[in-house]
Structures are given as structure tokens and as C-alpha cells.
Amino acid sequence: MTGRSSLRLPLSFSPFTLLILVVLIVSSACSSGDGRQRRGNSNSAEDQTPPIAITVAKTEARNVPAFIQATGSLIADESSDVAPKIAGKVANVSANVGQFLSQGAVIAKIDDSDQRRALAEAQARVKQAVALVRQAEAKLGLEANGKFNASIIPEVRAAAAGYEQALAELRQAEANEKRYRELVETGDVAMVTYESFKTTRDTAKAKANAAREALDAQVNTARQNNQAIKSAQANVEAAQTEVGTAQQNLTDTVVRAPFSGFISARPVAVGEYVSSASVIATILRSNPIKIQIQVAESDVPSVALGRGVSVQVDAYQDRSFAGVVTAINPALDQTSRSAVVEASIENPDNALRSGMFGTARITKQGGGIGIFIPKSAVYNDQATQSYRAFVIVEGVARLKVLQLGPEEGDSYQILDGLNADETVATSNLAELYEGAKVAV
């Protein structure tokens, strides 16, 4: 039949069923129309959102050193239990715990009355010994500190003069004996006359020998007296040694710091009796300070004297302290299979203290390439407990989750999440999101 709809309904549909089908078709058409309208409105609003203003920076590839990381404790470069050199009662204590002392500064003083008395006695003995030297010199006719010469001693000179006179008489007697002996041989003089001159000669010879012995005796006596001078001078030197010892004992009553450092303990008080085994104070040298770390057996070959070390402690998490390796124990611990390594660290402000726990990084030979970005480009997302950055690609922010490495100045090393020479946002990070449009 022309002019009618070609729709043919099954004869089995009831009027009620037809009514329900019509309602469903109309509702579907209306819902589809509203959805198209909403999507159109949404796209329009997104297109009208202004871009977020940001600043940007480039990721940078840098050479990074390889290192060995180990932990250990800080110890003083030097530690000394200062004890007095002599026994006595503590008269004064000048240092307190925590006080910094320069080398040679007074820590305490021992009562010095006994040492002063001993010094005075030793000085008196020196004067007495010097007086004995002068007496021995005067006996020989010498001036103070005069040089010994036996020939100028009066007794020796008198003996020498007597000997010379005896020699002269002997020479005269020998000449007379010779002349009269010749006259006897020619018969000009009687034998009895010759015998008289011969006897005179023999007497003169005996007298000369006696004079010689007297001279030798006087010389020996002079030498003995000179030896007495030397002995007296030796006594002077011994007495002067006693004076030096007494003066040193007096000096030792003052207990001084053996080196510059801090007092960590002072177990004595004024009035206490101490001996040379008593500890007056404990002093620590903390600049430089040392760290002792244990390095695994596999890393020991990579450690060498003079290698650079970077140390961090919990008390100063924002600081790194530089040092160098100064000692490597040649023996490994049999339990841990590690070697103890010491490093010296400059500590001019005494920020590092003995006993602190530290983490040390020892530089190794070689290294690699690391990716670095400014700290301002890293966003700490508290909701996800992750570090994030936004890479800017054609004006659109792309979210990157980062794995941070160590700090280096104002930058972080990125272990994972970024590549070199990428553009990253450095401001308004809290406003950015994946796909956000930005304006630089």
C-alpha cells in the first residue's frame, strides 16, 4: 500500500510493549544529544585554559668519579693522657673539660717548695766547689782559670835555681879534677892534691843529683796540685749538674699541654697528691681529625694513600668534609674480611667531634657520566612519596618520576628518569601536571 510506512511490527507485540520501546528509543536519542553537547563544551573550556608560566633549565651530562662508600667512627688525630713528671700535691688547676689549649699552655701546677729548696742547696754547692778551685789555683800561684805551667811555680823555680847552681859547681869541680889529673900524670902535682879535687868533684856530682831530684819532686808536687784544681773543677761541674737537675724539677712542677687540643677529661683537683703515674688531664687534637672505616676485601686494591675522601655525618647533613687517605692496615680482619683504613680530615672549626659516626666515600680511579639537574627542578610529591620532574616538550609538560643520586652543589645527580640535554621546568612545579600547557 502506497503512502504508508514500511515498518511492520510483529503481530505478537502488545500495545503496552510498543509503548515501552518508544520511550527507550526517545531516551537514547536525548542522552546521545546531551553527550555531544557536553563534549563540545568541555573541549571549548580546555582550549581556553591559559598556559602555566614557568622557568626552565637543561639537564646536563657531567663526568662523575667512581667511589667506595664505607662507614666508620671519627677519632682524634692525637690523644694524650697528660701526667706530671714529678710527684707532689696539686697546687693549682688551670684547665677545664671542653677548654681549648694551645701547645705549652698550663694545665696544672704542683707545689714546688721542695724543688726550690733543692735548687738553693745545689747552687750553694756550686759556690763551694768554685771556692775550692780558686784555693787550689792560689796554691800554685795561678790566676783564676789560669793555664798551668810548672816552670813558673815558686817552689819549682827555687828548685830549678838550686839545680842550676849545683850543675855549675859540678862543672867547676870536673874541670879542676881533669886539670889536676893531667898534672899528676906529668909529675907536677902530688897525688894527694889530685885526690882532694877528685873528692870535690864527686861531692859536686852528688849535690847536682840531689838538686835534680829536688826539682823533679817540686814539679811532681806542682802537677799534683794542678790535678787537684782539675778535681775541684770537676766538682764544680757536678754541682752545676745538680743545679740543672733542680731547675728542671722546678720547671716540671708546671704541667703543660703537649700539643694544641681540647681537654676531654680532668680527673684531679687542687690539694690532691699525684705521682708520675697519675693522669692530670686528657687532651685531644681534633684538627685534623681522623676517621676509621672498614673497607671490604674486594675494594682494598682500589684504595691508596693520598686518595681523596668525602665524609658526611648525621649532625651536619648539609655538609661534606674533605680529607685524604693516610693509613691502610696491611692485615684484614678474619671475621669481616675487611681492612681498616684511616683518613685525615681538616677540621678548623671543630665541627667534627671524636666519636661521631660518619659515612666516607673514597675516590677510585676511572668514573662515568652522570645526568644532573638543578635542585629547583625536583618536586617532592608527598602524596606518592616520590621525586618528580617535568620535561617540557613543544610547550607541554611531561611528568617524569626520578631516582635521585648524590648532591653536587646546587644540583642533583639523576640515577634514572631523565636523559641529557632535556628541558625541565624549574618553577611552579606544584601547579604542573601531565599534559599541562606551559609558557616559558
Tell me the pLDDT tens digit for each residue of 344-363. Answer: 999 988 899 989 999 998 88
Whole-number pLDDT of residue 140:
63
Whole-number pLDDT of residue 12:
43
Phi, psi of 205 (to 5 degrees): -65, -45
Range scoring the smallest mean pLDDT among 41-45, 112-116, 238-242: 41-45
Cell of 375: 635542585
| Cα gap 221→81, rounded to integer Å | 59
Helices (H) and strands (E) in the chain, counts: 4, 20
pTM of structure: 0.51
For residue 22, pLDDT over 50 is answered with no
Report in angstroms the alpha-carbon separations of 175 from 169, 206, 215, 419, 437. 10, 16, 25, 132, 148
Query: Could you tell me which residues come within 8 angstroms of residue 412 by beta carbon, excluding any fewer than 6 positions away?
Result: 372, 373, 374, 375, 378, 404, 405, 406
Residue 214 CA, chain-centre distance (Å), reads: 73
Range scoring the smallest mean pLDDT among 103-117, 135-149, 287-301: 135-149
| Cα gap 87→92, rounded to integer Å | 14
Q: Give the pLDDT band (50/70/90) at residue 368.
A: confident
- Which one-letter amino acid corresponds to residue 162? G
| Cα gap 110→249, rounded to integer Å | 11
Q: Which fold has domain 84-111+253-274?
A: OB fold (Dihydrolipoamide Acetyltransferase, E2P) (2.40.50)
Query: Could you tell me which residues come within 8 angstroms of residue 415 by beta carbon, excluding any fewer than 6 positions away?
Result: 403, 404, 405
Q: Give the pLDDT band (50/70/90) at residue 68.
A: confident
Whole-number pLDDT of residue 58:
94
- Taking the domains of the chain in order of start, what are their residue ranges? 52-62+370-439, 66-71+286-368, 84-111+253-274, 115-250
Angle of the 154-186 helix axis to the 191-251 helix axis, nearest 10: 160
Burial class (CB in 10 A: 0-12, 13-18, 19+), 239: buried
Whole-number pLDDT of residue 163:
83
For residue 265, pLDDT over 70 is answered with yes
Q: What's the average model confidence in pLDDT over 235-258? A: 91
Angle of the 113-139 helix axis to the 191-251 helix axis, nearest 10: 170
Whole-number pLDDT of residue 350:
87
Q: Give the pLDDT band (50/70/90) at residue 144.
A: low
Q: Say whether 19 sits in a helix, a strand or coil.
A: helix
Q: Quick check: do 66-71+286-368 and 84-111+253-274 share a fold? A: no
Range scoring the smallest mean pLDDT among 13-22, 136-145, 316-325, 366-375: 13-22
Assess if CATH 2.40.420.20 describes domain 52-62+370-439: yes
Which has the closest alpha carbon to 344: 320, 317, 321? 321
Q: What's the average model confidence in pLDDT over 208-213? A: 87
For residue 391, pLDDT over 90 is answered with yes
Range scoring the smallest mean pLDDT among 42-46, 183-187, 195-199, 248-252: 42-46
For residue 324, pLDDT over 90 is answered with yes
Q: Pick one of 1.10.287, 1.10.20, 3.30.1490, 3.40.50 as the CATH number of 115-250.
A: 1.10.287
For residue 244, pLDDT over 70 is answered with yes
Whole-number pLDDT of residue 230:
74
Superfamily of domain 66-71+286-368: Efflux pump adaptor protein, beta barrel domain (2.40.30.170)
- The distance in angstroms from the start CA to the end CA of the chain is 72
